[in-house]
Amino acid sequence: MTQYVLRRLVVLPIVLFGVSVLVFMVLHLVPGNPAQVIAGPDAPPETVAQIERELGLDRPLPEQYARYIGRVLQGDLGRSLRSRRPVLDDVMDALPNTLQLTLVAAIITPLIAIPLGVIAAARRGTRVDRGLMLLSMLGITVPVFAIALGFMWSFGYQLRWFPISGYGGPIWTFDGLRSVALPALTLAVGAVAALARLTRSAMLEVLNQDFVRTARAKGLRERVVLARHGLANALLPVITVLGLQIALLLSGAFVTETVFAWPGVGRLAVFAIQGRDFPLVQGTVLVIAVLFVLVNLVVDVMYAYVDPRIHYQ
């Protein structure tokens, strides 16, 4: 166990190094001269040269990377070309909003998915089961933006239950909670669908075991059998996949935040790319990727902790 955690911690810097190299390379994949692209086609050469100097593009690549990583490690992600503010400030303003949205989605996901999966397993082969599985198939294949627009249209415009878009405040306030509802639901749909399927199959596996037959034979009510003998034993794979899904929620944030005008890191990244604001693009991508790596690490370690039977080589 300790060894496993140590191994993962040793690999971590390698992965982070790779991530930083990839993010660094983003600027150098820009076709032509990035400084020219930023300045615009008609910009005078002095402006282009100034941007080149500002971004350090006039130096050899390894030196550029060394300077870049040096600055990043000191918390300096450069300056946004548009707002002229430090990228870190922009990202830090947006990050709490993304985390709130992700947190709410992460809380609703198991609350919806696990009961649905248990019901489908308990009613295996019936119309209820088939209907739920069809729904979850839809949840997996329908594009996130279509789900977002569908929710917006139905719950926002038609039923008027929730505000259509925007940030209504922190989620512990009433307005904030109302404003986060639609984006969080949207974000959760894919995860709910995947998790419900998994819960169903994990439950079915457990319900086939001898101790479940024994539990039924000794006359326990079905509800008790399902909860105490079924779900309790099916929960482990469910927790793992839940962890993976929570990490992946981060990538759903791009679409969801953009559609619902939610001022998070995902929307910031999309704006940055549209505005060709490369330092901001690098900053947002780096922060999201690092966050993802760390969440994954925590999930893996927790998993090993929860199930002592698991040995990692």
Partner 1 sequence: MNVAAAPARMGAGAQVEPAVVPRRQEFVRRFVRNRAGLLGLAIIAVLVALAALADVIAPYDWRSQDIVRRFAVPSPQHWLGTDELGRDIFSRILFGGRYSLTIGVGAVLLSFVVGTLVGIVAGFYRRLDGLLMRVVDVMLAFPGILLAIALVGALGPGLSSVIIAIGTTEIPGFARLNRSMVLSLREREFVVAARVVGASDASILLRHVLLNLVSPLLVFASLRMSTAILVGATLSFLGLGIQPPEPEWGAMVSTARQYIATAPHTFAYPTLAIFAAVVAFNLLGDALRDTLDPTLRH
User: Cβ 138 to partner 1, closest distance in Å?
Assistant: 9
Q: Is 24 in the site for partner 1 (CB under 8 A)?
A: no
User: Where in 148-167 is the site for partner 1 (CB under 8 A)?
Assistant: 149, 152-153, 157
Between 25 and 227, CB nearer to partner 1: 25
User: Which of 5, 8, 26, 82 contacts partner 1 by CB under 8 A?
Assistant: 26
User: Cβ 113 to partner 1, closest distance in Å?
Assistant: 12
What residues are paired with 86 via a beta bridge? Answer: 79
Q: Residue for token digits 């075991």?
A: 209
What is the pattern of x (binds partner 1, CB under 8 A) and - over residues 102-141?
Answer: -------------------------------------xxx
Q: Is 38 in the site for partner 1 (CB under 8 A)?
A: no
Q: Which stretch binds partner 1 (CB under 8 A): 13-21, 82-90, 172-180, 203-211?
A: 13-21
User: Where in 253-292 is the site for partner 1 (CB under 8 A)?
Assistant: 254-255, 258-259, 269-270, 272-274, 276, 278, 281, 285, 288-289, 292
In the complex, the residues that contact partner 1 under the rule CB under 8 A are: 14-15, 18-19, 21-23, 26-31, 37, 139-146, 149, 152-153, 157, 187, 190-191, 193-194, 244-245, 247-252, 254-255, 258-259, 269-270, 272-274, 276, 278, 281, 285, 288-289, 292-293
